[in-house]
Amino acid sequence: MNSETCFHCALPIPSGCNLTVDIEGERRPVCCPGCKAVAELIRDTGLSRYYELRDLPDPGVGRPPEEAAEWSVFDGDDMLAAFTEASGDNREATIYVGGMYCSACSWLIETTMSKQPGIESAEINPITHRLRLTFPAEGASLSAYLARLADLGYQPQPLSPESTARPEVVEQRTALKRLLVASLGMMQVMMFAVGLYAMDYQGIDPDMQHFLRLVSFFVTTPVVFYSAKPFFTSAWRGVVGKKPGMDLPVSIAVGAAYAASVYATFTRGEAVWFDSVTMFVFFLTLGRFLEMRARHRSIDRSAALSSLLPNTATRLDETAHSVVPVSQLRKDDRVLIRAGEPIPADGLLASGSTSVDEALLTGEPRPQAKAVGDELSAGSVNLDGMIEMTVTQTGSDTTLGTISILSERARYARPAFVTLADRIASYIVVALLVVATGVATFWYFADPDRAFVITLSVLVVTCPCALALATPAAFAAAGSRMSQLRLLVTNGNAIEALSRATLAMFDKTGTLTNGMPRITSVLVVDNNFTEMDCRLVAAALEHASTHPLARAFAMQDELPSVTSHEVVVGQGIKGIIDGNEWRIGSAAFVGGAAGPSEEIATHVLLGVDGSVVAWFALEDELRHDAGETLREVRRLGLRTALVSGDNQLAVDEVAAKLEITDAHAECTPEDKLAIIKAAQERGERVVMIGDGINDAPVLAGADTSIAPAHGALLAQTSADVIMLGESLEPMTTAIAMSRKTMRIVRQNLAWAIVYNAVALPLAAAGYVPPWAAAIGMSASSLIVVLNALRLNRFE
Amino acid sequence: MSILYVLIPLALLLLGLAVWAFFWAVGSGQFDDLDTPAMRIVMDDDKKPEADEE
């Protein structure tokens, strides 16, 4: 398949397309003029290295560039005020860049933008996808920069300054500061500790010892109260919520060691443990920092949802209409929406009538008719007429905004598996505290001088951090790697369920097939008409229909006009053209024989005044990699099955091509659910692969579910894993990856348990000094995190 | 050894300065991107355009 995919976007090249681009001295095939233009732009600016650096071909890059004219509205003075900030003689704009996926994208964008006339600096944050441009207040044009980004194939969206502070950025900044304070503090205190230890052997001036301890105290204090603050607050939250977490023993150890050291310092006591405290805090902070980074990487590009909204809208004022950025729309504004434009906000249809495509919101692929007074939702597309709308909700208050917030929340929800690990960890914490008290009591009677040190070591060395980190670290790393491999995991339980799946059940339409039927042949039986006549008549009749098959008939040509148009549900359509009654639909409806051939799965008859004129054979093509993917799924040891609402013939044909023996046709969603339940009762673990458009409960009924990412976003939220792009192949990656993830989780858990089993008796027996305990505990956590990060190199 | 009474506080002063500088750098966004700068070093500056500049 590789030789036939686009060099730029990796989508399959349609047959008959001979476009190529010369890059690095070779002719590379591309799939469409859009990709050709983008690839040439990248080459001509000397940035061909983008192709070597990128992780994977970007589905976003290569979309046809948007109209340049759209951007010009961002040049007005009030727009500049709304979307940029003044800084000295320059202005700064923050732009959300939709469609970027890897570091190569950020390199491409930064390099291209910094070469634009007037640009002082261009910095992009690959985590938040925000580009910060600095340019002179005079003489530069924001719209030219936006147009340039759009030319590269990205979807730029200027942000108003107040919306630019992202929680991830704030969290990362704070974590970095805490980490730095802990690391510098640790190094300093360690240096003084070497002095103190050395002088223990060589004899030390008591004043100097006191001074070094005071200095250590001085440096350790911010480490404890600033760097370790999250541990104390989280431990306290655990105590209040009666769910002690792993932060409790950590906090007790840090707090007790610090307090004892402070006491020893000011009473000139025996020993201080400032070095152990700072080291412990440093390693803990480092572990948390790595975990946070893995988590941030896996934050989905749900912000990309907002880039589905148009950038601008046409607002109707008393006298004129003006193009304004969508963010400036207010309730009760009237906006004009032309045919083909996305609807910029929620609102009520004020004048005109049209049909809209709401697939994005409801998963319903059929156009919905709308009349005056009907509700329109942001993000749906106005298909037919020019309409006026009164805005009721804007921005994040719209249905689309709510969905994006919901799916973001789902992504932050913790999978049951992790919650279970947390619960186990909290029992272990309680057990540990009991053991530590036991050890302290024993040593208090056996050797009171060493009781504190040994108890401290027990607390530190057995901290169940590794245990608690084992699962979430692996899941976070797997999620991040999977999103790089074009898989979005919306439900953490999916990874576990997927690793155990034994039966892959596929939906047909839109999953194994492209979901877009085509006319494969036209058989004209009435010699008075040409094939073209038939197609035109059919297109005219089907124009009003919302049946999925109707889309196959759509034509660009001028259509004959139809009167007395009538859609007979489940049968077909009739209408009068030039005085004759034409019918299109099933054989019974049109009044003809069953069909010219039994081989054709789906056919539609066209007739005039009761006699048959033509047969249309329709076919929904298989996805290009369906066969390959099914073989791979079987190689992974899963059985395959097919359930479909389509007729027996169509299902049999697909099943035969894909060698699926277990195929069920003409299923209602209830049938599908029953088939899944029956399989589950046989002991199968079912992964359902379907777009979920009409069968969200079916997806939910399976052990786990995967949905291809075309169109229906709301349907996707009920799927556990979403595949981006046009191919099915990522699902095999998802299965392999989930198995690997569970293997790593098991390794991590095994390691954590073995470590604690060995370390606890040693520490309780008094063989482990606090500093060694801190190293041991930290090393065990770091090993767990690093082991999990191996998932980032999967495949 | 009494020089330590001067040198150590001096070191702490420098430490404080370093922490302050780092906090400022983090606050100004220099550490928001921890991935791309690591790659930038291995990237060539742009190659000469193969076609004429527009």
CB spacing of A44 vs B34 below 8 angstroms: no
Give the model's pLDDT for residue B17.
96
**Tell me, what CATH number does A345's domain have?**
2.70.150.10
Per CB-CB distance under 8 Å, the chain A contacts of B36 are 103, 106-107, 110, 124, 126
A323 phi/psi in degrees, rounded to 5 = -90, 120
Tell me the HSE value of A565 on the side-chain side, using a 13 A CA sphere: 13
Between CA A277 and CA A252 the distance in angstroms is 11
Residues A745, A723: Cα–Cα separation, whole Å: 24
Nearest CA-CA distance, residue B8 and chain A, Å? 8
> Residue B5 above 80 pLDDT?
yes
Q: Report the pLDDT averaged over residues A623-644.
A: 88
- B48 touches A: beta carbon within 8 Å: yes
Confirm or reject contact between B24 and chain A (CB < 8 A).
no
**In this structure, are A373 and A340 located in the same domain?**
yes
DSSP code string of A596-621: S-SS-SEEEEEEETTEEEEEEEEE-P
Predicted local confidence at residue A273, as pLDDT: 80
Does some domain include residue A561? yes
pLDDT-based confidence at A523, cuts 50/70/90? confident
Which residue type does A521 have?
Answer: S
Decide which of A600, A619, A638 is a domain's last residue: A619
Residue A688 lies in a domain: yes
Domain match, A528 and A605 both: yes
pLDDT at residue A301, as a whole number? 41
- The 10 Å Cβ neighbour count of residue A34 is 17
Q: Do B33 and A208 touch (CB under 8 A)?
A: no
Confidence at A423, pLDDT banded by 50, 70, 90: low
Q: Is the pLDDT of residue A165 over 60?
A: no
Tens digit of pLDDT for each residue in A716-767? 456 778 776 667 888 898 899 999 999 998 998 888 888 888 888 998 888 8
Q: Is A187 on the interface with B (CB under 8 A)?
A: no
Nearest to A303 by CA among A32, A118, A94: A94
Contact A103 B36 (CB under 8 A): yes
On whether residue A6 sits in a domain, the answer given is: yes
**How many whole angstroms separate alpha carbon A170 and alpha carbon A717?**
28
Closest CA to A686 of A454, A428, A505, A427: A505
Lowest mean pLDDT among A413-422, A438-447, A522-531: A413-422
Q: How far is A125 from chain B (nearest CA, A)?
A: 6
Question: How far does the CA of residue A110 sit from the closest CA of chain B (Å)?
Answer: 10
Q: Do B49 and A208 make contact, defined as CB atoms within 8 angstroms?
A: no
- pLDDT band, very low/low/confident/very high, at A188 (cuts 50, 70, 90): very high
Chain B contact present for A743, CB below 8 A: no
The count of structural domains within chain A is: 5
Residue of B nearest to A172 (CA): B32
Q: Which of A354-358, A413-417, A575-579 has the lowest mean pLDDT?
A: A413-417
Q: Across residues A227-251, what is the average pLDDT?
A: 83
Q: Once rounded to an integer, what is the mean pLDDT over residues A12-37?
A: 71
Report if residue A332 sits inside a domain.
yes
Of residues A344, A467, A390, A472, the one with CA closest to residue A752: A467
pLDDT of A61 strictly over 70: no
Say yes or no: A164 contacts chain B, CB-CB below 8 A. no
The pLDDT assigned to A197 comes to 76
Domain region containing A316: 309-408
- Phi-psi category of A444—alpha, beta or left, where left has phi over 0 and alpha has psi -120 to 50? alpha
Are residues A294 and A401 part of one domain? no
Question: Using 50, 70 and 90 to split pLDDT, how confident is the model at A185?
Answer: very high
Residue A611 dihedral angles phi and psi, to the nearest 5°: -120, 145
Domain limit, last residue, from A575, A591, A619: A619
**Is the pLDDT assigned to residue A247 strictly greater than 70?**
yes
Cβ-proximal residues to A586 (8 Å cutoff; 6+ apart), any chain? A571, A572, A604, A605
Does the beta-carbon distance from B12 to A188 stay under 8 Å? yes
pLDDT value of residue A786: 86
CA distance B41 to chain A (A): 12
List all residues 6 or more positions away from A522 whose beta carbon is below 8 Å from its beta carbon: A531, A534, A535, A614, A615, A616, A617
pLDDT (0 to 100) of residue A181:
95
Interface touch A111/B46, C-beta < 8 Å:
yes
The string of DSSP codes covering A435-465 is HHHHHHHHHHHH-HHHHHHHHHHHHHHT-TH
Chain-centroid distance, C-alpha A704 = 17
Count of Cβ atoms closer than 10 Å to residue A428 Cβ: 21
Report whether pLDDT(A177) > 90.
yes
Of B32, B39, B47, nearest to A48 by CB-CB distance is B47
**pLDDT band for position A596 (cuts 50, 70, 90):** low
CB distance B19–A181 less than 8 Å?
A: yes
Q: Are residues A578 and A717 in the same domain?
A: no
In this complex, is the C-beta atom of A44 within 8 Å of any C-beta atom belonging to chain B?
A: yes
Residue located via tokens 């004892």: A260
Q: Do A375 and A324 fall into the same domain?
A: yes
- The answer, for A219 touching chain B at a CB cutoff of 8 Å, is yes
Q: Which residue of A has its CA nearest to B9?
A: A215
CA distance A140 to A137: 7
Contact between residue A55 and residue A104 where contact means Cβ atoms under 8 Å apart: yes
Rounded Cα gap, residues A544 and A94, in angstroms: 44
Indicate if A174 and A283 belong to the same structural domain. yes
Residues 510-569 of A with CB under 8 A from B: none
What is the mean pLDDT of the segment spanning A476-503? 78
Residues A250, A258 contacting (CB under 8 angstroms): no
> Cα–Cα distance between A218 and A430 in angstroms, integer?
33
For position A176, what pLDDT does the model report? 93
**What token pair was written down for A784?**
């767990």
- SS3 sequence of B6-30: HHHHHHHHHHHHHHHHHHHHHHCCC
Reported as a single tens digit per residue, the pLDDT across A250-284 is: 788 888 889 988 988 998 877 788 888 888 888 77
Active site residues of A: 507
**Rounded-to-integer distance, Cα A156 and Cα A149, Å:** 6
Kind and range of the H or E element at A748? helix A730-764
The pLDDT mean for chain B works out to 76
A-B interface: how many C-beta pairs under 8 angstroms? 84
Say if A72 falls within a structural domain. no
Partner B contacted by A181 (CB < 8 A)? yes
pLDDT-derived band of residue A304, with 50, 70 and 90 as boundaries? very low
The answer on A385 and A250 residing in a single domain is: no
Lowest mean pLDDT among A161-175, A177-191, A436-450: A161-175
pLDDT given at position B24: 94
How much is the pLDDT for B25? Answer: 93
pLDDT at A425 exceeding the cut of 70: no
Question: With an 8 Å Cβ cutoff, is B54 touching chain A?
Answer: yes
| Mean pLDDT estimate for chain A | 76
Which residue ranges make up each domain of chain B? 4-40
Percent of chain A with pLDDT over 70: 75
CB contact under 8 A, A127 and B32: yes
